[in-house]
Amino acid sequence: MMRYLVVNISQLLTMAGPDQPRRGKDMGSVHPILDGAVLVEDGRIAACGFKDLVLNDPRARGSRIIDAGGRVVAPGFVDSHSHPVFAAPRLSDFEARTKGKTYEQLAADGGGILSTVAKTRGATQAALTAGLQARMARFIESGTTTLEAKSGYGLDPDTELKMLRSIATAGSAGPLELVPTLLAAHAVPPEYKDRKDDYLELVCAEIIPKAASEGLARFVDVFCEAGYFTVEDAERVLAAGAKAGLKGKVHADQLTLSGGARLAAKLGAVSADHLERCEDDDIRALAASPTVATFLPGSDYFLAKPYPPARRFIDAGAAVALATDFNPGSCPCWDMRMILSIACTQMGMTPAEAMTAATVNGAHALGLGATHGALQNGKAADLVCWEASDYREIPYYFGGSGLSWVMKAGAMAFSKEGIKL
Ligand code: NIG
Ligand code: FE
């Protein structure tokens, strides 16, 4: 039995509470425990809170002590939206945008998602896995302990499954925990140009059932956007997913108001993501639904697009999460702290709201709220020791590494000072 006792914590953020996403004022009520402690047993939280209470737990005796050095301890980030499997970064798109081309123009000119698809189809599964594993190390070093990972650069049965198998292989090696999502409806592949319905038939009748029956995906996602898939298309994909036992996620209202958020709310999808163009009716619909509203402001930063109206969502009572959207085209950023910085400086979210959105609400956006995203008895021992004495330093500093160590499921996944357990 492995037992660790983390002590000398200036501020302990447990994010503890009922097993449901935080909404409204609750998003901003984070109550850091001054001089807290955490007892970890066999990969889970055994006790957590005021030091005196935790030290009184009989299991604390004889535990190996980890001294947090008077720093902040918080749950690891749960990054609920990413596209981390691809063959190569899109550097020529990036450079062309510096010269004035837009993301939409580049996609129309044969760049964009389809250029990544061509390269990903040509890559071996081993090469994709190796690339993914290199990126996973960057996520862990940035304080992310659970990451959703989408397919979507294959757009044919073999390549979509190849991507999902890479995710399964890399995820089982750890230490970063991966949650796989099938995004075969990311774009219409070139061989189905002008035959979108035939491609949707392939997605619904073949790719979704295969991915689900092989246990390779937990969610199904669709890019509901002008020029990609309509609300009707998205509903068809989500229905096929539901039939196969996969809960839905929707890329919604990013570049245009396409109705994706309204659909996600209507169907009770687990999350609706992006939401830059949402209006009050859409915000109200999401707030009244169980669907988590997930913002991906790293992509708005990188594409120089407007940010989602975060205050209106939070004030309306929506459950808001923050995620990176890490991908080669619109957000080559794995660092959740940068995303929190953008949320606080550009979108009017408070440091407490940003931490809530990146931990407990991110876990709910992956259906993992009962086990992840908070430091609470029985939940996963996924915790980060930040080089900070006040948690507001986490979104305050930007542009550099800011943590001391990362524990995933009770094991030391990264430590700047070389702590070995
Ligand atoms: O979430 N749906 C768009 N997909 C990604 C970008 C993908 C890409 O450009 O490769 C997004 O922004
Ligand atoms: Fe995305």
400 band by pLDDT with thresholds 50, 70 and 90: confident
Strand order in the sheet with 44-50: 44-50, 33-41, 3-12, 64-75, 383-386, 403-408, 411-415
The answer for residues whose C-beta is within 8 angstroms of residue 232's C-beta and 6 or more apart is: none
| Position 421 in a domain | no
> Do 118 and 194 belong to one domain?
yes
317 band by pLDDT with thresholds 50, 70 and 90: very high
> Do 122 and 204 belong to one domain?
yes
For atom 1 of ligand 1, which residue has the closest CA? 325
Average pLDDT on 190-209 reads 98
> Do 397 and 356 belong to one domain?
no
Average pLDDT on 147-159 reads 98
> Do 176 and 37 belong to one domain?
no
| Position 420 in a domain | no
Fill in the DSSP letter of residue 243.
H
Each residue of 218-258: pLDDT tens digit?
999 999 999 999 999 999 999 999 999 999 999 999 999 99
| Position 85 in a domain | yes
Q: State which of 345, 364, 383 marks the end of a domain.
A: 364
- Give the percent of the chain with pLDDT over 90: 97
> Do 350 and 402 belong to one domain?
no
Average pLDDT on 285-295 reads 98
Report whether residue 298 contacts ligand 1, using a CB cutoff of 6 Å: no
Report whether residue 229 contacts ligand 1, using a CB cutoff of 6 Å: no
Each residue of 361-385: pLDDT tens digit?
999 999 999 999 999 999 999 999 9
- Rg of the chain over all Cα atoms, to the nearest angstrom: 21
Each residue of 327-370: pLDDT tens digit?
999 999 999 999 999 999 999 999 999 999 999 999 999 999 99
| Position 242 in a domain | yes
- Residue range(s) defining the domain that contains residue 150: 78-364
pLDDT at 110: 85
pTM of the full predicted structure? 0.98
Show the tokens assigned to 408: 């995933």
Ligand nearest to the CA of 86: 1
**C-alpha pair distances (Å), 301 with each of 53, 305, 335:** 44, 7, 13
Domain count, the chain: 2
> Do 140 and 128 belong to one domain?
yes
> Do 69 and 82 belong to one domain?
no
> Do 107 and 143 belong to one domain?
yes
Report whether residue 327 contacts ligand 1, using a CB cutoff of 6 Å: yes
Ligand 1 atom showing the smallest separation from residue 153 Cα: 10
> Do 190 and 58 belong to one domain?
no
Q: How far is the CA of 254 from the centre of ligand 2 (A)?
A: 10
pLDDT at 401: 85
For atom 9 of ligand 1, which residue has the closest CA? 329
Ligand 1 atom showing the smallest separation from residue 86 Cα: 10
Q: Mean pLDDT score of the chain, rounded to an integer?
A: 97
Report whether residue 86 contacts ligand 1, using a CB cutoff of 6 Å: no
> Do 106 and 15 belong to one domain?
no
Q: Residue 21 and residue 28: Cα distance in Å, rounded?
A: 12
Each residue of 140-152: pLDDT tens digit?
999 999 999 999 9
> Do 344 and 382 belong to one domain?
no
Indicate which CATH number applies to the domain containing 206. Answer: 3.20.20.140
Average pLDDT on 201-226 reads 98
> Do 397 and 298 belong to one domain?
no
Indicate which CATH number applies to the domain containing 17. Answer: 2.30.40.10
